[in-house]
Amino acid sequence: MGIPDYETIMLPLLEFAADQKAHTPREAVDAMTERFNLTYEERRQLLPSGQQTVIANRVGWARTYLKKAGLLESPTRGYFRITQRGLDVLKSRPERIDVKFLERFPEFLEFKNPTKTKYDKTNGPVIQSASTPEELLADAYQRLRESLAADLLSMVKQCSPEFFEMLVIDVLVRMGYGGTRQDAGQAIGRTGDEGIDGLIKEDRLGLDSVYIQAKRWDGVVGRPEIQKFAGALQGRHARKGIFITTGRFSEEAHEYVKNIDSKIVLIDGEMLVELMIDNDVGVNTVRSIQIKKIDHDYFTEE
């Protein structure tokens, strides 16, 4: 079945609270986890932010919506319990409780849409979704990031060999390699084959060095190229290497680096642009959204 959406959780959550006791959010998550027979992996699955499990997020929003409709209440900080309205709803034996069901309650309509209309004459109909707000934000962010990554890779493939050399240096320095950009630039020299080839410090202290090769290829880099690179490492008595390409690596290339003594990291075009985005190379921030939550410690009275 998988992890249920927050609307599917609403009725089981209200039924869980039917004992009229005060419960904690943690108890609710545990109860829903058992109710829907979630696997160990499903229980641990995180939102893209990595700050909360998916099931906890969805149970939390189901609880919030039920509270906004007056079916649950907060008797004290950190607890919730069913209201008389919630008990009355359960007595009517609904087959399902979702956003549409909750719209019969004026308090919920006010929460959902202060204008109390399902249609905005400017923007069109309000879109319903079974995803929580965090999931909608995460999905929108991921789609924007994927679009940016595709455009970025296209631009990288079009840049000159000299600019590509500078780009790779910038990425590695932003990641903490090479000390300063000047040091990294001096450590790497052109090879004349539209790539770069050289040594860079593994860290700012220069405790170890990493051999680097980068190729602006549109196609697939196979095992023979990686074998040549591994041979170059051995010739320089180097143990670590990074092979960067704007294309992709074959399965044979990936398998080969798993079975050799030298540590070689393969960075294909997709990973390269992801590193560029994560380290702000060639991109800038146009908007930043902060998601805030209540600081319960602030409201603790001693």
**pLDDT digit string, tens, across residues 23-52:** 999 999 999 999 999 999 999 999 877 778
Confidence (pLDDT) at 105: 95
Could you tell me the CA-to-CA distances from 66 to 57, 137, 242 in Å, in that order? 14, 22, 53
Tens-place pLDDT, residues 161-178: 778 878 888 898 888 887
Q: What pLDDT is recorded for position 180?
A: 64
Greater pLDDT, 159 or 257:
257
- Determine the average pLDDT of the residues in 77-101: 95
Average pLDDT score over residue span 87-115: 90
Confidence category of residue 7, pLDDT binned at 50, 70, 90:
very high
- Give mean pLDDT, residues 111-133: 56
**Greater confidence, 292 or 56?**
56
The mean per-residue pLDDT over the stretch 266-288 comes to 91
Confidence of residue 124 (pLDDT cuts 50, 70, 90): very low
pLDDT reported for residue 202: 74
- Using the predicted structure, report yes or no on whether residue 196 has a pLDDT greater than 80: no
pLDDT digits (tens, 9 = 90+) for 129-148: 678 888 888 888 887 888 88
Output the six-digit token pair for 243: 């092979």
Read off the amino acid at residue 221.
Answer: V
The pLDDT of residue 185: 58
Looking at residue 129, its pLDDT comes to 64
Lowest mean pLDDT among 83-97, 180-194, 266-280: 180-194
Mean pLDDT of the region 70-95? 94
Res 22 pLDDT > 70:
yes
Q: What is the mean pLDDT of residues 223-241?
A: 86
Quick one: pLDDT at residue 233? Answer: 84
Could you tell me which residues are beta bridge partners of residue 194? none
- pLDDT for res 125: 40
Whether the predicted pLDDT of 287 surpasses 50:
yes
How high is the pLDDT of residue 119? Answer: 38
| 51 close to 31: Cβ distance less than 8 angstroms | no
pLDDT-above-90 percentage for the chain = 45
Lowest mean pLDDT among 144-153, 200-209, 278-287: 200-209
If DSSP states are collapsed to H, E and C, what string results for 50-103? CCCEHHHHHHHHHHHHHHHCCCEECCCCCCEEECHHHHHHHHCCCCCCCHHHHC
> Confidence class of residue 120 from pLDDT cuts 50, 70 and 90?
very low
Q: Cα–Cα distance between 190 and 193 in angstroms, integer?
A: 8
Q: Name which of 56-60, 77-81, 221-225 the model is least confident about.
A: 77-81
The token duo for 74 is: 């907060």
Question: With contact defined as beta carbons under 8 Å apart, do 109 and 96 qualify?
Answer: no
- Structural domains of the chain, ranges and CATH numbers in brackets: 6-118 (1.10.10), 153-278 (3.40.1340.10)
